[in-house]
Amino acid sequence: MKYYSILRFFSPLLLAQFCLCFLLVICGLLCCDAVAQPAPASKVQLDLSVGKISDFTRSNWWRVTRDYNTKYHPWTPPGSLEAWQAEAKKLRTQILVSQGLWPMPKKTPLQPVIHGKIDCGDYTIEKVFFASRPGLYVTGNLYRPVGKSGKKPGVLCPHGHWPNGRFYTASDKEVARQIESGAESIPEAARYPLQARMVHLARMGCVVFHYDMIDYADSSGIDHRTDFSTVQDGLWLLESMGLQTWNSIRALDFLCSLEDVDAQRIAVTGASGGGTQTFMLCAIDDRPAVAVPAVMVSTDMQGGCVCENAPYLRIDTNNIAIAALFAPKPLGLTGANDWTLRLETRGLPELKRIYNYYGKAENVEAWVHPEFGHNYNAISRKHMYAFLAKHLNLQNVSIEERPFPAKTPQQLTVFDETHPRPKDTADAATLRADWIKQSRATINHLLLPENRKQYREIVGAAREVLLGGKMPTISELTISAAKPTEKDSGESEQFLLISRKDDASVIPVKVLSPAEPNGLSLCWFDPRGINCLKDNTEAEAAMIENVLKRGGTIILADIRGFGSNRPAEGKELLPVNSRYYGYTFGYNRPLLASRVRDIAAVVTYAASRARAKTPMIDLLGTGEAGPCVLLAQSICSGKIAQTTADLNGKSFGEINDLQDPLFLPGALKYGGIAGLAGISACEKITLYGIDEQLRQKLEPLKNHVLQLELKEDSWKPSTPQK
C-alpha cells in the first residue's frame, strides 16, 4: 500500500533507518553519554473542567494591542551592558528595516546648490537645495558665523509640524501670549522662534543647516501625510518616515562635506516631529556627537503623524530605547506640559541606567518645564545652548539670545527666477516607481546563487524583523497540560496551552500519541485548528488513523485566527488602521508574523518531545495556513525534516487589501515568499496550488532547497492504494 509523501514515516525503509537511529541513541544512553538537554519549559497542570477551549483564549492577542494613541509605552532596560549591546544591535536593524533602509541605499552625488547669501552682520544666511535621491530634493537655509576662523561645529536642525515649518511666523496674538507667559522675551524670537534658534547657534560659532520636512516650506511634490500609505507601499517599505530619515542622513552628508565644518563636532536638535527626526538619525548614524531632541522622547505618546510611524518601528520597544542607542554620547532632552511631562520619572531613569553601564550617567540630562505647553521656546533653547556649548567645546560664548534682523519667508525661500525648482522634481508616483525598481534590483542581485552569503546576512536579518524573531527555546515557553485521555487501543490525546513568555498570546494544542511511538511527529496547521479531528474529510480521517498506526505523533494547534483562537463572531482579527497601516504595525506584529511565531512555538514543543538529533518533524500547512507554514519552516532551522504546504495560488504580489491576513509590510522588498522562505530552508519542500505565475516567483527557492516539488493541484491526503 502507498501513502502520501508527507507521511514519510509510512515508508518501511525509513522505518528501518529510524529503528537503527533509535538503537544507537539507546546505546549512547546506556554508555552514560547522554546529550545535554536544554532548560525545560515552565509547566502548569491544566484543569479542563473550567470551560470550553475558547475560554482559555478569551483575553488573547486581539485585545492586547498598542497604537500611536496608547497612553503609556513602558520599556525595561536590559540588566547589563552586554545584554544592552546585544539588544541595541538588534534594535538598530529593526529601525533600519522599518525605514526601508536595510540594506542602506546607494548614495548618489548631492551636487548641492548654495546661493543667495544674506549678510546679517555677525552671521550670514544662504539658500540650499540638493537631491537626496533622484527627484527628491532637500531644501533649507545655511547659517554661518562671521569672523570665526578655522573649522566650526556643525548643527543639523530638523523642524516639527509648525505651520509652514521653516517659515513659521507667529500671529500678533501668539507673540503677545508668548511674551506674557515668559516663554519668550524678544519680540523677533516670539514671532520667528525657529529662526531665533538658528541665529543664536550661528552667533555661538556654529554652522547650522535648517532643512525642510517633506511637503513643508520649499519642499513640494509629495503630500506629507497621504502619498505613501497603500498596500503596495507597505509591501516595498516605502514610507514617509523612511524618506524623511533618508533626507536627514543626506542632510548630514551635506553638512559634513562643508570645508568650514568640523565633522567630529556635529550636533542635531529639533522639536516635536523634529525631535523624532533627531533621535531617529542619531540612533542609526555614528557621526553626530551631541543630540538634543526636544519635547518628543517619552514613555507616553510616541508620535502622531505618519512621518513619525512606520511598520515594525516600535514593536517590543519605545522612543526611550531608540534614544538610548545614542549612549554614551551626550543626550539632552526637554519636556513640557504634554506627553513628555513625566519624562524625569518615566524615561530619564531608564536612560540613566543605560548611560551608567558606560560610566557616563552625567551625559544624559532632561529639563522639564510643566508651566509651558508643547514648545521649543527661549527657556528650552537656553538649556540646549548650554548643553551644546559644553559638549561641543564652545569657548567664551553667551547662551543669552539677542535681538536679530528677522527674515520673512519670501527672503528665506530657496527657489527664485535665477534658481527655479529642478524640473526633475518627482511626484509620489515617480518616486514609488523608482523605489520599487531599485529595491527589485537589489533583491534580485541578492537572490543569485553566487550571493548566497550576503542574501542570508541581509534578508536573514530582515526576516527576523518581519516574522518576529528566532525560534524560541523550550525554556522560553510556558506549557499548561491537561491529563492525557487514554484509549483502549493504547493511543492517547492530550490538550495543552502553549504560551511564549515574551508574548501575551495562548495557543491551544492537541497532541495525539500512538500506542507505540516511533519518535516522528507531524505538525498539521489548518484554519480548523484542533477541530480537524472532528471536522474532516474521510481521506483526512484516514490519514490521521494511519499516522497513528505507524507510530507517528500528530500535533494540531489553534494558532492565531484559527479554530477557537479568534474573537467572537463578527469581530475583526486585529483590524488595521485604514488611514495608515504603520499606526497598527508600528506597534503590533502583522497577523501573518504572529501565526509564524505560533507555529515556531509549537515546533519547539514538538522538538522537545524527541531525543534524536536528526530532524524528525514534518510540517503540513493546508488552507490559509499554507503560506504561514512555508515561512515558519525557515525559522525552525534544523528541526524540520520536510514541509508540505498548499499556497492556493497566493503570493504577496496579489495582495490589495490592508485587512488581508497575508499583508506583511516589506515582504516584496525582501524577495516575496521565496526570498523569505529560502533562509535556512529545510531539505525537502513540497508545495501545492502553484499556478504558472506563482511557479516563476518561487524559482529562486530552488537555490536554497535540496528537494523542491511544485504541484499545480490543491493538496489532498492520499488514500491507500490496493
Domains within the chain, CATH numbers bracketed: 8-66+466-710 (3.40.50.1820), 86-401+428-438 (3.40.50.1820)
Beta strands in 467-574 (DSSP E): 477-481, 485-486, 492-500, 507-513, 521-525, 553-557
331-336 and 364-369: which strand pairing? Answer: parallel
Averaged pLDDT of the chain = 91
Is 524 in contact with 536 (CB distance < 8 Å)?
no
Provide the pLDDT for residue 722: 39
- Three-class DSSP category at 507: strand
Provide the pLDDT for residue 66: 85
Provide the pLDDT for residue 488: 87
521-525 and 113-119: which strand pairing? Answer: unpaired
Mean pLDDT of 532-545: 93
pLDDT confidence tier of residue 236, bands split at 50, 70 and 90:
very high
Residue 443 Cα distances to 151, 529, 700, angstroms: 41, 35, 11
**pLDDT at residue 613 greater than cutoff 80:** no
Burial track 272-305 (b if 16+ CB lie within 10 A, e otherwise): bbbbbbbbbbbbbeebbbbbbbbbbbbbbbbbbb
The dihedral built from the CA positions of residue 5, 11, 16 and 18, taken in this order, carries a sign that is positive
Mean pLDDT of 2-11: 40
Beta strands in 364-470 (DSSP E): 364-369
**Residue 359 buriedness (CB in 10 A; 0-12 / 13-18 / 19+):** exposed
Element at 2 (helix H, strand E): none
Element at 604 (helix H, strand E): helix 591-608
**Which value, in Å, is the radius of gyration of the alpha carbons in the chain?**
29
Count of Cβ atoms closer than 10 Å to residue 588 Cβ: 21
Of 451-455, 458-462, 601-605, 608-612, least confident by mean pLDDT is: 608-612
**pLDDT at residue 79 greater than cutoff 50:** yes
Q: Grid cell 551608567 — which residue?
A: 356
Mean pLDDT of 443-449: 95
**pLDDT at residue 386 greater than cutoff 50:** yes
Residue 597 Cα distances to 90, 467, 523, 603, 627, angstroms: 18, 7, 14, 10, 13
Find, among 245, 315, 243, 236, the residue nearest to 279 by Cα. Answer: 245
Provide the pLDDT for residue 503: 83
Element at 53 (helix H, strand E): helix 53-56
DSSP string, 393-414: T--S---S--------HHHH-S
477, three cell numbers: 515557553
CA–CA gap between residue 164 and residue 213 (Å, rounded): 10
Give 502-514 pLDDT, tens digit per residue. Answer: 887 899 999 999 9
pLDDT confidence tier of residue 421, bands split at 50, 70 and 90:
very high
Q: Grid cell 527657556 — which residue?
A: 379
66, three cell numbers: 498598542
CA–CA gap between residue 437 and residue 424 (Å, rounded): 17
- Three-class DSSP category at 129: strand
Find, among 598, 592, 567, the residue nearest to 655 by Cα. Answer: 592
**pLDDT at residue 15 greater than cutoff 60:** no
Find, among 628, 615, 626, the residue nearest to 682 by Cα. Answer: 615
Phi, psi at 14, each rounded to 5°? -70, -35
669, three cell numbers: 522588498
Find, among 317, 376, 377, the residue nearest to 586 by Cα. Answer: 317
Give 94-123 pLDDT, tens digit per residue. Answer: 999 999 999 999 999 999 999 999 999 999
Q: Grid cell 551625559 — which residue?
A: 363
Find, among 41, 99, 6, 29, the residue nearest to 669 by Cα. Answer: 99
According to DSSP, residue 469 is labeled S
Provide the pLDDT for residue 558: 96
Tell me how long the chain is: 722
Is 617 in contact with 639 (CB distance < 8 Å)?
yes
pLDDT confidence tier of residue 574, bands split at 50, 70 and 90:
confident
- Three-class DSSP category at 246: helix
Q: Grid cell 469581530 — which residue?
A: 571
pLDDT confidence tier of residue 573, bands split at 50, 70 and 90:
confident
Element at 684 (helix H, strand E): strand 684-688
Burial track 433-468 (b if 16+ CB lie within 10 A, e otherwise): ebbbeebeebbeebbeeeeeeebbebbbbbbbbbbb
Give 631-671 pLDDT, tens digit per residue. Answer: 999 999 889 999 999 999 889 988 999 999 999 999 999 99
CA–CA gap between residue 268 and residue 282 (Å, rounded): 8
Count of Cβ atoms closer than 10 Å to residue 585 Cβ: 30
CA–CA gap between residue 216 and residue 211 (Å, rounded): 10
CA–CA gap between residue 221 and residue 228 (Å, rounded): 13
Q: Grid cell 475560554 — which residue?
A: 55
Is 70 in contact with 319 (CB distance < 8 Å)?
no
DSSP string, 292-321: EEES--SSS----SGGG--TTTTTT--HHH
The residues facing 708 across adjacent strands are 685
Name which residue leads in pLDDT, 584 or 615. Answer: 584
CA dihedral 568, 573, 574, 578 (to 10 degrees): -120
452-467 and 626-635 helices cross at what angle (nearest 10)? 120
**pLDDT at residue 36 greater than cutoff 60:** no
Mean pLDDT of 563-577: 82
Provide the pLDDT for residue 45: 61
CA–CA gap between residue 615 and residue 461 (Å, rounded): 24
CA–CA gap between residue 320 and residue 76 (Å, rounded): 10
Provide the pLDDT for residue 44: 62
**pLDDT at residue 676 greater than cutoff 50:** yes
**pLDDT at residue 22 greater than cutoff 80:** no
492-500 and 485-486: which strand pairing? Answer: antiparallel
